[in-house]
């Protein structure tokens, strides 16, 4: 039977070479990612240091835009507050933001305006845009006979 000599250092040498290549690839990735993050930070820094953009629309106009964007869909006051928050509107300056929203939405819902006010099945106020010339919305919870009740 023939003896085969295996160099015990060979496997360690090969493992070290393989790990070195893996670490070089990781280093290359990390270096590229650091560069990307530095560029992102550089681009966002002036924007992040601004105090915000002055609003170009009043609360009434923003509420109208939100209701019109979901025409035929009833929204509660909390739904409108969430939609405003998604648009970056800060209502924290109001002692009672929900009351302000309900007052604003009630003023918007004048006869012939294309906006209607009703109630959800559990009695919460519900607001919707039906729009002039639009068909009545399909029956939804809170709708009876195509109108919000």
Indicate whether 98 and 124 sit together in one domain: yes
Number of domains into which the chain is organized: 2
CA–CA dist 145, 149 (Å, integer): 9
| Number of other CB atoms surrounding residue 21 within 10 Å | 10
CATH of the domain at 128: 1.10.10.10
The structure's pTM equals: 0.54
Task: Decide if 139 is inside a domain.
Answer: yes
Q: Is residue 35 part of a domain?
A: yes
Do residues 68 and 128 both lie within one domain? yes
Q: Are residues 14 and 67 in the same domain?
A: no
> Are residues 85 and 41 both part of a single domain?
no
d(CA 75, CA 123): 13
Tens-digit pLDDT profile for the chain (149 aa)?
Answer: 677 777 889 889 999 999 999 999 999 999 999 999 999 999 988 877 776 666 677 899 999 999 998 888 889 999 999 999 988 888 989 999 999 999 999 999 988 888 999 988 888 899 999 866 444 444 444 444 444 44
Are 87 and 31 contained in the same domain? no
Same domain, 89 and 126: yes
43 in the same domain as 98 = no
Which structural domain, as residue segments, surrounds residue 96? Answer: 59-148
């Amino acid at each position: 039977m023939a003896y085969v000599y295996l160099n015990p250092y060979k496997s360690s040498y090969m493992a070290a070479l393989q790990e070195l290549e893996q670490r070089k690839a990781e280093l290359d990735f990390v270096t590229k990612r650091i560069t990307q993050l530095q560029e992102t930070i550089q681009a966002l820094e002036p924007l992040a240091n601004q105090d915000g953009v002055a609003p170009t629309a009043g609360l009434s106009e923003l509420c109208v835009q939100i209701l019109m964007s979901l025409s035929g869909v009833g929204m509660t006051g909390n739904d409108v507050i969430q939609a405003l928050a998604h648009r970056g509107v800060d209502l924290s300056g109001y002692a009672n933001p929900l009351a302000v929203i309900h007052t604003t939405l009630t003023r918007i819902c004048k006869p012939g305006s294309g906006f209607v006010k009703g109630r959800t099945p559990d009695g919460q106020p519900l607001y919707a845009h039906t729009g002039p010339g639009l068909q009545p919305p399909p029956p939804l919870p809170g709708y009876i006979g195509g109108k919000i009740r």
